[in-house]
Structure 1
Amino acid sequence: MKLNSGSVPVSVSVSDGLVDCSPGGIEGHDEDPKRGGSIAWDHFKEATLPNGKKKSKCLHYNKLLSVQPGKTTSHLIRHLRLACPHRAKLFPKKSEDTSKSTVQTQFHGVVISEGESSVHTFTFSFEKVKTLAAHMILAHEYPFNIIEHKVFNEFLRAYIPYYKKISRYIVRKEYFGVYDKEKERLINILSKVNRVSLTTDCWWSGVQRIGYMVITCHYVDRNWNLHKRVLSFVNVHPPHNGAALAKEVHRVSNIFEISDKIASMTVDNDSANDVCIAILKKDHNLLSNVVLDG
C-alpha cells in the first residue's frame, strides 16, 4: 500500500481476535513497546540477558519469549491465551446465556427465540406462508392487494431470499379457506355446549344505503369461562321487516346447529324485532327452550 510522505506508517497484527496497532511501519522498530497500545505489553516487559540478547518476559509466568522483528506481539498474545497460568482471568469465556437472547415469542403454537446464535434446520413452506398471509389480512383487516404492494414484497424478499410473490387472488382463496376452517372449529365447540344466548344488532348505512345485521353467540365453557363469538355479519336485503330478520336468525342457527340450545335472545327495541321474535317462536319453534318461555 502506498503511503503519503507526511503519514505515519502503522503496523497491524491480528491474532486470536485481538488487533495490535503500533507505529513504526510494517517491519519498523518501536523504541518503546508500551506505546504500541497492544494488550500484550500490560503483561510483558523487556529483559536483557547476560549475553546482551533481548527477550520478552511474562510478568505472571517468568517465561522468556523472543523479541520479534518490528516487535510484533502475536506470539505474546498466543502465550497469554494458551500457556499463561492467568489465561482464565485474562480471557474469560463467554457464558452461553450472553450469546442468546432470552426474548421469546409464541406465534401460532411455535416458540420463536430472537437473537439466537446457533444454526437450526429450517424448511421453507410456501403453503404455510399463504395461510399466514390470510391470517394477517383477517386479523388486521388489511385489503387483499397489500400482498402485491411493491415495498411489502421487497421487505419479504430481503428477509426471506426464497420468498415468492403471492397474488391477491391466491390470498383471497386462502382467506375463505381459513374462514371455513374456523367455522367448522366453532361448530365443534358449540356441539359440546348445552345452552347459548344470542344477541342481534341491526343498522342502516346511509352512505351505502345497505342494511346490516350481526348475530353474536354467548356461551359458558366447562371451566365457567364466558365466551363471545360473531356467528354472522350480513347484508339484509330489503324489506327490513321482522320476517327477513327471523329468516336470517333461523338460517344461522341451523348452520351452527344451535336451534335447540338457545336459552335467551336479546334484540333492539324495535317493532320489526317484535315481529321477528314472534315468528321464531311460532313458525320455527326456535325459542322453545328459552328461560321462562321467553
Structure 2
Amino acid sequence: MDLPSLETLAAMDAENEYIEVQSKGEEESHEQTLSVTQPFKPVRKRRRAKCWVDFTHLGLEDDGKVRARCNHCGFKFVVEKNHGTSTLNRHSTKCPAKPRPDAPKYDHKADREKMSEIIIYHDLPFKYVEYEKVRERDRFLNPDVQHICRQTAAADVYKRYEIEKAKLIEVLVKHKGRVCFTANLWTARSVVMGYICITAHFIDENWRLNNKILAFCNLKPPHSGEEIAKAVYDCLKGWGLEKKVFTITLDNAKANDSMLNILKHRYGDLASMASDLLSIPITTVAAESAFSVGGRVLSPFRNRILPKNVQALIATRNWLRGFEEFEGDIEDYFNGEDDESAKSSSEVRNSST
C-alpha cells in the first residue's frame, strides 16, 4: 500500500476515536444533569406492627392529622409518628366487632344457669336481669348475648331449686342414720306473712355436720299446734324422713307443746321419736340464720314475691352455700364450743374477783 493510502486510513481512525470520546462525554453530562434536577424520593417503609392487619391507613385528612380506620368497627384513630401503635393494639384486643375464632361460642342455656346462680348466691332481685347497665355490660362482653326478663329468671331459679332438691333427696335416702330437725316460725314485716322454717341436721359418713333447709314455706294463720304439726308432718312425709326422726327442736311457745304431742300421738310414724329432752340446742341458730337471709329476700322493695319463689331462693342458697359458720368437722365445732365456754367462765371469775 502506498504512502497516501496509509495517511488516509490514519486520519479516518483518528476521527472515529474523537467521535467516540465526544459521545461518551455527552452521556456523562446528561446523567449528572438528571441527578441534579430530579428530587430524591425516599423509600416507603413497610408497616410491620401486627395490629395493621386489623386497620387501614387513611393518610392525611382534612384536619391535618394522619388516621387509620378499624376494619371491623370502623372507628378511626390518630397514627402520627409520635403516637406509636399502642392505641391500635389495645383496640385490636378489645374491639367488640372483631371475630374471635379462639373464643367459645355463646351458650344461652349456660348463660341462664349462671345468671340464676348469681341471683341465688347474692340475694338479688329477679329484676336484676333487666338492669340497663347489666345488659350493657353483657353486650360489651358478648354481642351475641340474648337477654331474658324477670319472669324467665324466676322460672330458672325455681328449676334450679327442683334440681338441687332431687340431689338432696338422693343424699337423704342413702343416709342410714337418724336426723334431727328444727322448726321455727318467722313473720316477714314487709308483707306481714308468717313462714315456717324446717331444717334437717345430720352427720354424714365423713363425720361432717350438715344443716339443710327442707322447707321455708308460708304458714297461714291461725298458728295453732294443729296447723304447725300438719305443716311439719307434711314436710317430713314429702322428703321421706318420717321414719328417721331422732329429735325435733322447738322454742318455748305454747303452740309448740301441743304440736309435739300431736306429732307423737296422732302420727304413728313419729311414735318412736326420742324425747324432746334430747334436742340439740345448737341447731336453732341455723334457723335464725335462714330468717336473716329471708329478711334480705323479702325486703320492702320485694314485697310482691311469691312464697314458692321465696322458698326456692332461700332453700337453694342453703343447699349451694350452706350455713358456712355451722358446717364442718363435728369435732372442730365442739372444740370451738369448749373454748368459748372456758373463755366465758374465766371472764366470770375475773369479774367476780
Deviations 1:15-50 (A, max 9, x none): 977xxxxxxxxxxxxxxxxxxxxxxxxxxxxxxxxx
Counting helix residues as a fraction of each chain, which structure ranks higher?
Answer: 2
Note if 1:148 corresponds to 2:130: yes
Partner of 1:171: 153
1:174-210 CA distances to partner (integer Å, 9 max, x unpaired)? 1110011111111111001121110111133455332
Superposition pairs for residues 1-294 of structure 1, below 5 Å? Answer: 120=102, 122-193=104-175, 194-205=177-188, 208-291=191-274
Structure 2: unaligned runs, 5 residues or longer: 1-43, 50-99, 278-353
Moved over 6 A (4+): 12-17
Other-structure match for 2:321: none
* CA distances 1:65-93 after superposition (whole Å, capped 9, x unpaired): xxxxxxxxxxxxxxxxxxxxxxxxxxxxx
What is the CA–CA distance in structure 1 between the aligned matches of 2:163 and 2:190, rounded to whole Å? 33
Q: Which has the higher contact order (CA 8 A, sep 6+)?
A: 2
Q: What CA RMSD, in Å, does the superposition of the two structures yield over aligned residues?
A: 2.5
CA distance in 2, matches of 1:179, 1:147: 19
Q: Residue 197 of structure 1 contacts residue 265 of structure 1 at CA under 8 Å; is this kept in 2?
A: yes
Larger radius of gyration between Structure 1 and Structure 2:
2
Q: 2: distance between equivalents of 1:145 and 1:206? A: 22
- Aligned residue-pair number: 185
2: CA distance, partners of 1:135 / 1:153: 17
TM-score by length of 1: 0.58
Gaps of 5+ in 1: 1-11, 18-117
Quote how far apart the aligned CAs of 1:271 are.
Answer: 1.0
Preserved contact between residue 247 and residue 275 of structure 2 (Cα < 8 Å) = no
Amino acid at match of 2:112: K
Cα distance in structure 2, aligned partners of 1:120 and 1:207: 49
Q: CA deviation at 1:285?
A: 2.4
How far does residue 289 in structure 1 lie from its aligned partner after superposition?
A: 3.5
Report the equivalent of 2:31. Answer: none
1:47 aligned partner: none
Secondary structure at the counterpart of residue 106 of structure 2: coil
1:233 offset after TM fit, Å? 0.8
Which structure features the higher share of strand residues? 1
Distance across 1 between alignment mates of 2:107 and 2:120: 20
Change (3 A) 1:182 1:164: same
Identity of aligned residues (%): 28
Change (3 A) 1:293 1:133: closer
- Normalised to the residue count of structure 2, the TM-score between the two structures is 0.48
Residue 162 to residue 293, structure 1, CA distance change in 2 (3 Å): closer
What is the identity, as a one-letter code, of the residue corresponding to 1:230? I
Which amino acid in the other structure matches residue 172 of structure 2? Answer: L
C-alpha contact (below 8 Å) 2:249/2:276 kept by paired residues:
no
Letter in 2 for 1:223: N
